[in-house]
């Protein structure tokens, strides 16, 4: 089985998915690892800008990457970008190859493995919030998405673009101060709903209970690759 990764959204997040897949693979030698082809397509326009009516349509370049990967012989495809899943139904029509849906995999994983929690605080791009990418999938499985206020959404967006610029000047105290406002005296789990935030929370050592869709995606890539 050959895994294809539609990368470039952004490059550091793509690298992080690749690293997680390697670390999650039970391997004793090179040959035990997955065969992976990455198309780090940095020409894909910003997904949030398009959803907010401020930028170009990213579906053309995303589709090009998918077709390119299929031509190169991949058996399944992963997309390490939460916001890009807004276009999932549009782009999957252009390939016969299975595209893993990170949003569904996350909701299903939580339903099966974390049944005591129903509410989740989503940290993501403004595009993901506006498009309600997580809401419907989670609601269908009896789970509920909580979102920050508009001011905090903009703060989170600054963090995300900071990571894209390789800037990690966010402290653990600053990060947890924001999320604490939405805990409502409860330990509400956090969904790290942006792959740049996945990189950030590992750097700062987030102590709150959280689930990382990119880690869940990486585990699923390994499971499918070893079948």
Contact 99, 91 (CB under 8 A): yes
Contact 212, 201 (CB under 8 A): yes
Contact 213, 12 (CB under 8 A): no
Question: Which residue in 71, 75, 66, 93 sits closest to 36, CA to CA?
Answer: 75
Catalytic positions, written as ranges: 81, 194
Contact 123, 147 (CB under 8 A): no
Please give the structure tokens belonging to residue 220: 């699923």
Question: Which residue in 126, 210, 142, 197 sits closest to 168, CA to CA?
Answer: 197
Contact 25, 36 (CB under 8 A): no
DSSP code of residue 148: -
Name residue, tokens 């963090």: 159
């Amino acid at each position: 089985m050959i895994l294809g990764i539609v990368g470039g959204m952004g490059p550091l997040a793509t690298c992080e998915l690749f690293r997680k897949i390697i670390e999650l693979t039970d391997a004793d030698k090179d040959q035990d690892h997955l065969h992976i082809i990455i198309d780090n397509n940095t020409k894909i326009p910003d997904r949030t800008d398009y959803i907010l009516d401020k930028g170009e349509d990213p579906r053309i370049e995303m589709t090009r990457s998918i077709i390119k990967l299929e031509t190169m012989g991949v058996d399944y495809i992963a997309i390490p970008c939460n916001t890009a899943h807004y276009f999932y139904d549009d782009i999957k029509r252009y390939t016969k190859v299975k595209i893993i849906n990170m949003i569904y995999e996350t909701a299903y994983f939580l339903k099966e493995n974390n049944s005591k929690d129903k509410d989740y605080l989503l940290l993501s791009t403004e595009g993901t919030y506006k498009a309600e990418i997580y809401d419907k999938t989670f609601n269908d499985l009896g789970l509920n998405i909580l979102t920050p206020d508009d001011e905090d959404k903009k703060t989170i967006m600054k963090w995300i673009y900071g990571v894209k610029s390789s800037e990690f000047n966010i402290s653990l105290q600053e990060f947890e101060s924001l999320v604490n406002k939405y805990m409502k005296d409860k330990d509400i789990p956090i969904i790290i709903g942006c792959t740049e935030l996945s990189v950030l929370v590992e750097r700062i050592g987030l102590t709150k209970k959280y689930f990382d869709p990119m880690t869940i995606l990486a585990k699923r890539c390994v499971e499918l690759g070893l079948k």
